[in-house]
Structure formats: C-alpha cells, structure tokens
Amino acid sequence: MNADEQKVFEEKIYAFVGQEVYPPTPAPDDVNLPMIRQWAEVIGETNPAYLDPAWAASSKRGKTIAPPAMMYVWGQEGFQVTRGRAPNAQSNLVAMFNDYGFTGVLGTNVKQEYFKEVSPGDNITIQMVIDNISERKTTSRGTGYFFETLSTFTDQNGEVVGTQRFKVLKFIPQELPAAAAADDNALEVPTRIASPRGHDNGWWWEACDEGKVLIQRCKDCQTLRHPPRPMCGQCQSMAWDSIESTLEGEVLSYTALRHPKIPGYPKDPICAVIQLAEGTNIVSNIVDCEYDDVFIGMKLKGKVEQVDDKTMLPQFYPA
Amino acid sequence: MTDYKTLTCAEVSVGDTLEAVDIDITTGLVVCGALATRDFEPVHHSKAEAQATGLPDVFMNILTSQGLMTRYATDWSGPEAFVNSIDLKLGAPNLPGMVMTMTGEVTAVDASTGRVDITVLGENNIWGMHMQGTVQLTLPQEA
C-alpha cells in the first residue's frame, strides 16, 4: 500500500467511527436468578450477594444483585451465532480490514465500569458504537490498527448501569496462519531446558539420570574437578575416572531468579554455588526453604530427583 | 446463617497481597463458561473450529476470564464490596489442561471514597500471562 492508497483506505475505515453496531436493544430476558446461578456454578462463585436471598435481605443492599461481570451476558445473541451473525457496522469494518490484508485479529483490552448494581427483575439494554480507530501502528504481531467499541448498558428506567470498552487489533499477520495445523495432544507441559550433552560431559548427565552426582578425578594426580572437562588443570593429564559425591555441601553464594518466570521452572528459584564435602563446587537449586532463610555457610544435603516429566537434577535441602 | 465478613477500607493497605489461587482449565470450564455467559462462538465449544484458527483446542472466552478475575477480588473483599470496574489486558489463551494461577496485590487505597485498586495477574503454566489488570472495589468505611 503506497501513501495515497493508505490515505484512501484510512478515509474509508475512519468513516466507521461513531457508527452504531447495535442500536439500543433490550435483553430478551430480565436479570434472573437461574442464569446467575448457572454462571456462579461454573465460575466457582459463592458470593451470597448473588446467590442467597436470605443473606441479601439482611445485607446493606437488602436484595440480591447480579454479578457485575455478567453485564454483557444479558444481551448476548444466543445460539444463532453458530450460523453466523447479521452484518453490522463492526462486521463491515472487519470485512474492510480483511479485504486490505489486515486479516489478523486480536482482542487486546476490555474494560467494564459499573455505576449501579442490578438485581433480578431489572432489564438491561445494550447499545454499542465504534468509538475510535487508532492511527496505523507497528506492533509485535504486525502492522495494523486498533479499533475500540463502546457499549453502554442502561436499565429499564433509562439509567446507565455501566459501560464496556473493548479494544481489538486488526493487523497484517507476519506469517501465514497454518491452516488447521493444530492437532490433538499438541499441548505439552513445558519442562526444564534439556541439559547439553556433549562428548566431554554426556557421561556426567547420564549418571545424573541414574540418580548419581559424579565428580571427575584425574587418574594421575587424583585432583577432583567440576564441571567435566577433558584435561586436568593441575598436571595436564587427560586420563580420568570419577567418584560419587555424598552430596553434603555448604552455600558459597546464592541468589533468587525473580523475573521473568520461566515456563517449566518453579517461581523465584533459589540458585546457589555449593561447595561439596569432596571439595569441588556445583551450581544447583536450594529447595524446601525460604530465600530469606538461606545464608552463606549454610549446610545442605543434596538428592538427585525427578523435577519434571523429563528431567533428573540434583537439588539441595537444608541439612 | 453463614456469617460473611467484608473488609473495611481501614483494614486494607497498599502492598497487601491476595492469596494465590490455582484454576484448573478443563474442557468443562471452557465450554460451560462460554455457555453460562451465552457466548456461542464456535471456537469456545467446538474443538474443530478452534483448531481451524491454529490452536490445539477450545479456548476460554473473555467473559469467563472477567468472571474469574472479579470472583478473585470479591472472594478477598467479601460480599458487601461494590465493584467499580474491571480493566483487563488479554494475553495468551487458556486451554484445557493448563493451570492458571491468579495473584493479586492492593496498589491503591483512597480512604475518603473507600476505593481500592487491586492488580491481578492470571498466568497459565504453559503460555504465561493470560490476563492482567485492575479490579477497583469500593469497600465499606466501617463494618
């Protein structure tokens, strides 16, 4: 799209601002306890202000109310939307974006404000307009425009009970969506990052898989070394064997990884440099302990444990 | 009758945290949440339609997320709180098999009006942030 084409396109889309998506439309049913109860059961809501008329009668309100988050529910169109929705200003705007390649869609923000509580017997009317459309934006998802609808909810007396602003990004997808690419069981619970197993350290991780922490030992001068490497730092011998650690250790240094949370890892893991009784150091996690209780010199006892579906790791506990 | 306590404005301070709550995202919660909010968009009850959009399964609709966020705030405050607003930013979808952990913190308290802002984060264990935002409540000045 060159600058002139963009100008023509933007004139067309900005003409939608102010257009009505839904003229004022009363909900087919009044606010009612059966729908509230069904909603509350699913959401796990036990608030007596919604569900318990006896409690509500003695409360400050004197009667039950509808959950505020149900405000948009009362006017929903119903099952016929599975067969498509009647065209309106919003669907026409979306179609125009699609025609110009802005086929991506992403709801980004929704804000509901409530001015008045509603109760069973009240009837909610919704009116929705296209309130604003942004200038062209470059986002991490692609180039596009944000448009925002504004819904206004009124009761049977014409009093405004609340509003909703819903912001949607229409954008040019950076890569073509894989058509029906998703398949069953694609949802894998993330695990820790797999250990890098090379020629010089694969043996160490394989022992870890078996529940053992080994320490490499020079066959010539008996010096222990960790992490694994091909040559002794003392005598340059490349001959080595290993001993098994007892996993008794002491904190040399520690920190907690606060941010960001990494998928597959516990929140705020405590990471420490631990000196083992054998003399070498190992970097590992301290578990079963609050960060504030860790100190330099703290005695630890390690265990090799399965920490997720795929990973065995040494973890250290307060001794 | 069960006695329900509602926090008063004086009992709340900036920095107070809400106890974390884990929500198991099941097919039942996604589908029944969509139906309980009368949201019959096929992506919320038909796996085939959801897969056609590139996701592995049906995903939670926004109205259910709003319900869960409000519930989290009012479970903490008690039933006499008035909900002023819920303002949420949408992130990664919630799909069956995930677990969403909700955490919250009081970020503003206005003693003159009783208004309290609670920032809430709903993070699932697979894709991270599902929703984050602010619920504003008005708490009673005195019990």
Taking an 8 Å cut-off on Cβ atoms, the answer to whether A108 and B90 are in contact is: yes
Kindly report the CATH number assigned to the domain that includes residue A119. 3.10.129.10
Find which of A85, A112, A141, A153 to mutate to test the B interface (most B CBs within 10 Å of its CB).
A112
User: For B85-113, how does the pLDDT look when each residue is reduced to its tens digit (9 = 90+)?
Assistant: 999 999 999 999 999 999 999 999 999 99
How far apart CA A35 and CA A73 sit, in angstroms, is 9
A22 & A126 share domain = yes
CB contact set of B3 (below 8 Å; sequence gap of 6+): none
- From B42, which residue of chain A is nearest by alpha-carbon distance? A82
CB contact set of A290 (below 8 Å; sequence gap of 6+): none
How far apart CA B108 and CA B89 sit, in angstroms, is 19
Residue A176 pLDDT > 50 = no
A147 & A206 share domain = no
Q: Distance of alpha carbon B70 from its chain centroid, rounded?
A: 5
Give the per-residue pLDDT at A258: 87
Taken in order of first residue, the domains within chain B and their CATH numbers are 9-138 (3.10.129.10)
Res. A142 pLDDT band, cuts 50 70 90? confident
A232 & A136 share domain = no
How far apart CA A275 and CA A252 sit, in angstroms, is 6
Q: Which residues of B fall within a CB distance of 8 Å from A70?
A: 37, 67
Give the per-residue pLDDT at B110: 96
Taking an 8 Å cut-off on Cβ atoms, the answer to whether A43 and B71 are in contact is: yes
Give the per-residue pLDDT at B143: 64
User: For A239-260, how does the pLDDT look when each residue is reduced to its tens digit (9 = 90+)?
Assistant: 999 999 999 999 999 999 987 7
Q: Does residue A205 sit in helix, strand or coil?
A: helix
Residue A175 pLDDT > 70 = no
DSSP letter at B1?
A: -
**What integer is the mean pLDDT of A107-113?**
95
First vs last C-alpha separation in chain A: 67
**What integer is the mean pLDDT of A33-59?**
96
Give the per-residue pLDDT at B34: 97
How far apart CA A144 and CA A225 sit, in angstroms, is 56
Domain carrying residue A160: 3-31+66-171
ipTM computed for the complex:
0.96
**What integer is the mean pLDDT of B67-90?**
97
Find which of B66, B100, B125 to mutate to test the A interface (most A CBs within 10 Å of its CB).
B66
**Stronger pLDDT, A309 or A260, i.e. the higher one:** A309
A293 & A159 share domain = no
Residue B7 pLDDT > 80 = yes
Give the per-residue pLDDT at B116: 98
Residue A177 pLDDT > 70 = no
A158 & A214 share domain = no
Q: What is the dihedral of CA A140, A144, A146, A147, to 10 degrees?
A: -150
**Stronger pLDDT, A64 or A85, i.e. the higher one:** A64
CB contact set of A146 (below 8 Å; sequence gap of 6+): A108, A133, A134, A137, A167, A168, A169, A170
Which of A150, A171, A192 is the C-terminal boundary of a domain?
A171
